[in-house]
Amino acid sequence: MTIKLYCMGESGNAYKAALALELADLEWEPVYVDFFGGETRTPEFREINVMGEVPVLVDGDTSLTQSGVMQMYVSDRTGKFGGNTAEEKRDILRWIMWDNHKLSSQAGMTRFLMNFLPEEKRPLEVIPFMQGRLRAAYTTLNTHLEGRDWIVGDALSNADMSCCGYLFYPEPFGFDRTEWPNIDHWLSNIEQTPGWKHPYDLMPGSPADRA
């Protein structure tokens, strides 16, 4: 049965799950969610996910939300990207949780405020504040990646596919990979992974559609 991923190209959180499905060679298809048209705020969507968020993964009778849970589901099904030892598994989960807490949550919000909210509605003090917090997160990641090709161990894992969620997007939100050499090297490693695709090539929906 083909796995369905409810998603849109603009969502870095959806990208984390889509990339794991794609690189694990699972049979999956994206189902476009009209986030910008308000679909995730409808009662129908809230019935599917009380959190009101994309992505949602449906595999037969199994319905999952939260991209980190989907990544672990892909690992459980395929044995890929989840680490080889108990220590690696915990370390991968550690970086997924850090990403949720400090990196993607704030990057996603800042990118939204700067690019997808009408200019007159932008909270102008919030943006530089969030960018300051994000610089602390980039510093942590860049420091950790010193001398490493991957976040955990010596291969691509869910930790990489979580932390990179928002870092390939072209819209400005205060991240410039050339400022962070270890992050830049690590993103290049991900891009060079056979089968890798940019979020706008992997899922339907992009700002170009609304231009």
- Contacting residues toward a second copy, per CB under 8 A: 46, 50-52, 62, 64-66, 68-69, 72-73, 87, 90, 93-94, 96-98, 100-102, 104-105, 109, 123-126, 129, 133, 140, 143-144
Q: Which is nearer to a second copy, 49 or 193 (CB)?
A: 49
The residues, any chain, with a CB within 8 Å of residue 180's CB and separated by 6 or more, are 138, 141, 142
The answer to whether 70 and 78 are in contact (CB under 8 A) is no
Smallest separation (angstroms) from a second copy to the CB of 23: 21
Smallest separation (angstroms) from a second copy to the CB of 6: 15
Smallest separation (angstroms) from a second copy to the CB of 165: 11
Q: Which is nearer to a second copy, 144 or 177 (CB)?
A: 144
Smallest separation (angstroms) from a second copy to the CB of 15: 15
Q: Which is nearer to a second copy, 64 or 206 (CB)?
A: 64
Rounded distance, CA 86 to CA 104, Å?
Answer: 25
Q: Which is nearer to a second copy, 143 or 188 (CB)?
A: 143
Instruction: Kindly tell me the sign of the dihedral angle through the C-alpha atoms of 152, 158, 162, 165.
Output: positive
The answer to whether 20 and 71 are in contact (CB under 8 A) is yes
The residues, any chain, with a CB within 8 Å of residue 113's CB and separated by 6 or more, are 122, 123, 126, 127, 130
Q: Which is nearer to a second copy, 170 or 181 (CB)?
A: 181
Smallest separation (angstroms) from a second copy to the CB of 59: 12
The answer to whether 187 and 128 are in contact (CB under 8 A) is no
